[in-house]
Amino acid sequence: MSFRNRIIAGGAVALLAVTLGGVSLALADDPAANQEMTGRMTYYDAAGYGACGDVVDAATEDLVAVSHEWWTTDDPNEDPICDGVSVEVSYEGKSITVPVRDQCPSCDADHLDLSRTAFERLAPLDEGLVQGITWKFVTDDGREITRPSSSSSSDPALAPGNPPLATGSAFPSRFAAPYVETWGSPSVLEEARAAGLRYATLGFVLDGGGCKAMFNGDTPVSDEGWLSAIEGLRGSGGEVIASFGGASGTELASACGSVDALESQYRSVVDVLGLSRLDFDLEGAALADTEAYGRRNEALAALQKDVEGAGGRLDVQFTLPSGAAGLEADGVEMLQDAERAGVRVSLVNIMTMDYGSAVADMGQAAIDAATALHGQLGRIWPSKSDAELWAMEGNTPMIGVNDTEGEVFTTDDASRLADFAVEKGIQQLAFWSLGRDRACPEAGTLSEDCSGTEQSEHQFLKTFGAVNTTDQERVPATLPEGMVDPLPAGSSQASASPSSSQEPSARRAPAGPASTVPPSGRAGAGSPGGSGGAGGSGKTISNAFTTGYTWFDNTPRGSAQISAPVIHDQAGGTGTWEDPITLAVGHTTEGGEDTLDYPAGTRFYIPKVRRYFIVEDACGDGGSPQNGPCHSLDTAPEGATTWLDMYLGGGSGDSDSAAHACADRLTGLTTVVQDPADDLPVTEGALFHDDTCTTTYDD
């Protein structure tokens, strides 16, 4: 989820009408009449063509991007909202008036996306998401601005803080999600985000009395402070997991007397927080309560069935006590019951801490426990391969001084465990806890506020965070030897600049500035600049960074316009040699003219998806990987030498979040072939269709 605006690059273009859920956003019948509204604001700092058709620089100009829901014509560049309309915004005694010059496709009707400079006039940038602003439209001629009839602000299920059931996983194949204490301040999450946190586990959701799910048993999950911190993390491309249970308090399944009541509480937490993953930290009496875990497993199986029946996805993971020899018997029995109940268990996370007696080498103990767990999971899920079983594992130590005397998990232990996780393909690392990830005034101290071991600030977070991946694939064995890493034409980058945001998960919008490379009919091989041909040169690029964009990502949604058509009138293709899929690449802009990094018509073959691609589009100009600066490589992973953005597909009947989960899955460093031969293996079809993402390949 991202609050970064998707800019339409390329000025006025022919665009399709936008519909969501069968309701046309071009319809508008509820007059706002310049009335004051309450909402929220974020900021963006991208440069390029705004949706009103002129060039904007949100890093240096005062302006605002308003929700797509205020647009009333098919062509946003000619919409009345672009003609003499401004927004007056007030927050904590400060007011500014800024012109509407852009559109925010990801914003609700009451959500403003201000330029960075405008946002700074009202609030510090580090707040990221500000709730409780008041604002209204003001016009040059006093005319009314109408609220679209499909505005999400009139739908309680889509109101801020109450998103719908999750419709796709927001997590990559390997990630770190340390625990944050929900009885503390949400500022812990904000501070860790500034230090590089991407994923976090919120511990814990407990019964607040009478079968009521609450943070720590005393704070509503709809608490504005926590919602703001969560949205801030999502705004930087991250995501959260809600963890139920813990070592103290009343576990929800013990408090709720029926499966239906329990499922309802789980559903409410998913709804309010917009989750795609739930964690269940079960220990002590909660793990031994067979009646409670029977209700829990039935409720989870039913909830997963409901979500997935609606085209969504809800992952369930269990966090369980472990010794160096793996799970105890009650943990194994609970998992067996979950399997019988039909729960799709995505991960089993072991608590590699508090073994009961002093352990000299906590790093090795965590590795030994993981190895033992691998065998235990294989006996519960015998049809899974070794790799699939490793990918079902999580590992959560208590950093620094543990509750058990003599147990100290050091930064060296963290490095060893992280290396082991990467080697084996363990899905998740975590630790207890974010609030302890700092040195104590005195080493050797057991504390809730510091680790008690020698470390720098957030050192465990940074060590474990290095395992975050974007589903990168191994170099296919069938590709030619002697791989080279050429730069795309026109790029001055010798290598990618290191970035604190190398794991893209936010959406992006390639939109299409007009290229100076003219299209030449609809030819494939032999089109301008593209060598192609049956005996292509087969230049192999081993460190290409691939991302994906979908039907949903252009402004407005569904336009699928491309800047330099060669074979297609709009982005598309099935991946065969004769019908390659549209590819967007970086571009440079000089004197108002854009030049593509690879000439239009250049063909690529991407073994990870077994399809051919053709350059027909330019990446957008947003400020994050899935928003587009493909030319500079500044936000690509270190070592990337080129950036290729695949058109995935999608349509009005598909799930937005499922499409973007597919984009995240296809994001990462991989090997590609430029100017390939025409006889390479192909899996024909769009990369995303019918809410289904393409298969990826290692061979």
DSSP string, 492-517: --SSPPP-S--S--S------PPBSS
CA distance to 65, 224, 313, 654, per residue, from 307 (Å): 33, 26, 6, 15
Dump pLDDT digits (tens) for 606-625.
999 999 999 998 887 554 44
Output the CA–CA distances (angstroms, integers) from residue 253 to 303, 345, 627, in the order listed.
Answer: 14, 18, 42
Give the pLDDT of residue 20: 24
Structural domain ending residue among the three candidates 107, 125, 158: 158
Give the whole-angstrom CA distance, residue 299 versus residue 232. Answer: 31
The total of other beta-carbon atoms located within 10 Å of residue 514's CB is: 16
DSSP label of 198: -
Confidence band (pLDDT; 50, 70, 90) for 140?
confident
For residues 217 and 151, membership in a common domain is answered with no
Q: Which tops the pLDDT comparison, 370 or 670?
A: 370
Beta bridge partners of 146: 31
Q: Is 361 a domain residue?
A: yes
CA 254 from centroid of its chain's CA atoms: 33
pLDDT in tens, 261-285: 999 999 999 988 989 999 999 999 9
What radius of gyration do the chain's Cα atoms show?
A: 26
Q: Is residue 12 part of a domain?
A: no
CATH number of the domain encompassing residue 27: 2.40.40.10
Residue 489 confidence (pLDDT) above 60: no
Whether residues 416 and 508 share a domain: the answer is no
Whole-number pLDDT of residue 50: 75
Q: What percent of the chain stands above pLDDT 70?
A: 77
Tens of pLDDT, residue by residue over 660-693, are 788 888 888 888 999 998 889 999 999 998 888 9
- Categorize the per-residue pLDDT at 518 as very low, low, confident or very high, splitting at 50, 70 and 90: very low
Give me the domain span that covers residue 44.
19-158
Residue 521 vs residue 218, higher pLDDT: 218
Distance CA 627, CA 301 (A): 36
Read off the pLDDT of each residue in 54-67 and give the average, rounded to a whole number: 87
**Same domain assignment for residues 478 and 608:** yes
Classify residue 13: in a domain, yes or no: no
Concatenating the DSSP letter of every residue in 555-586 gives: SSTT----SS-SS-SSS---SSSSSPEEEEE-
Find the catalytic residue in 190, 231, 239, 283.
283
Question: What is the predicted pLDDT for the residue at 552?
Answer: 74
Domain membership flag for residue 166: no
Check residue 164 and give its pLDDT: 38
Cα–Cα dist 245/292, whole Å: 12
pLDDT-derived band at 452 (thresholds 50, 70, 90) equals: very high
Confidence of residue 151 (pLDDT cuts 50, 70, 90): very low
102-111, 170-179, 222-231, 397-406: least confident range: 102-111
Please check whether residues 222 and 147 belong to one and the same domain: no
Looking at 324-473, which runs of residues are DSSP E strands?
326-327, 345-352, 393-397, 400-401, 408-409, 428-429
Q: Mean of the per-residue pLDDT values for the chain?
A: 78
Q: Which of residues 301 and 224 earns the better pLDDT score?
A: 301
Q: Report pLDDT for 461.
A: 96
Q: Is the pLDDT of residue 176 over 50?
A: yes
Q: Are both 271 and 366 inside the same structural domain? A: yes
In a domain, 212, yes or no: yes
Structural domain includes residue 169: no
What is the distance between the alpha carbons of residues 406 and 396, in angstroms, rounded to a whole number?
18
Q: Tell me the per-residue pLDDT of 318-337, one tens digit each, with 9 for 90 and over.
A: 999 999 999 999 999 999 99
Q: Which of 445, 465, 485 is the endpoint of a domain? A: 465
Residues 112-130: tens digit of each pLDDT: 989 989 999 999 987 777 8
CB 104 within 8 A of CB 68: yes
Q: Both 219 and 125 in a single domain? A: no
209, 107: one domain:
no
10 located within any domain? no
pLDDT category at 530 given cuts 50, 70, 90 is: very low
- Provide the number of structural domains found in the chain: 3
Structure confidence at residue 365 (pLDDT): 97
Q: Whats the size of the chain, residue-wise?
A: 699
Distance CA 611, CA 32 (A): 49
Instruction: Give the pLDDT of residue 555.
Output: 53
Lowest model confidence (mean pLDDT) among 166-180, 417-431, 500-514: 500-514
**Is 307 in the same domain as 336?**
yes
Tokens of residue 643, six digits: 């950036």
Position 632 scores a pLDDT of 75
pLDDT tens for 288-299 read 999 999 999 999
Please tell me whether residues 129 and 197 are part of one structural domain. Answer: no
482, part of any domain: yes
| Among candidate residues 422, 441, 465, the one where a domain is terminated | 465
pLDDT at 696: 87
Residues 200 and 73 in one domain: no
The CATH number covering residue 411 comes to 3.20.20.80
Nearest to 255 by CA among 277, 285, 226: 285
Nearest Cα to Cα of residue 470 among 506, 510, 508? 506
Residues in CB range of 42: below 8 A, 6 or more apart: 3, 111, 112, 113, 114, 119, 128, 129, 130, 235
612 and 576 Cβ atoms separated by less than 8 Å:
yes
The secondary structure of 446-464 as a DSSP string is: --SSS-SSS--TTHHHHHH
Q: At what angle do helices 362-380 and 329-341 cross, to 10 degrees?
A: 40
Say if residue 688 is preceded by a cis peptide, omega within 30 of 0: no
| pLDDT of the residue at 550 | 87
C-alpha dihedral sign at 657, 350, 348, 341 = negative
Is 283 annotated in the active site?
yes
- Predicted local confidence at residue 558, as pLDDT: 67
pLDDT of residue 628: 54
> To which residue do tokens 């003609």 refer?
83
Same domain, 674 and 615: yes
Burial 293-308 (b: 16+ CB within 10 A, else e): bbbbbbbbbbbbeebe
- What's the average model confidence in pLDDT over 382-395? 94
How sure is the predictor about 496, in pLDDT bands with cuts at 50, 70 and 90? very low
Contacts of 84 (CB under 8 A, 6+ apart): 139, 140, 141
Q: Which residue has the higher pLDDT, 362 or 45?
A: 362
Instruction: Mark whether 313 and 252 lie in a shared domain.
Output: yes
Interatomic CA distance for residues 187 and 181, integer angstroms: 11
DSSP state of 432: B
Task: Tell me how far apart the alpha carbons of residues 68 and 553 are, in angstroms, rounded to a whole number.
Answer: 12
**What percent of the chain clears pLDDT 90, i.e. is strictly above it?**
49
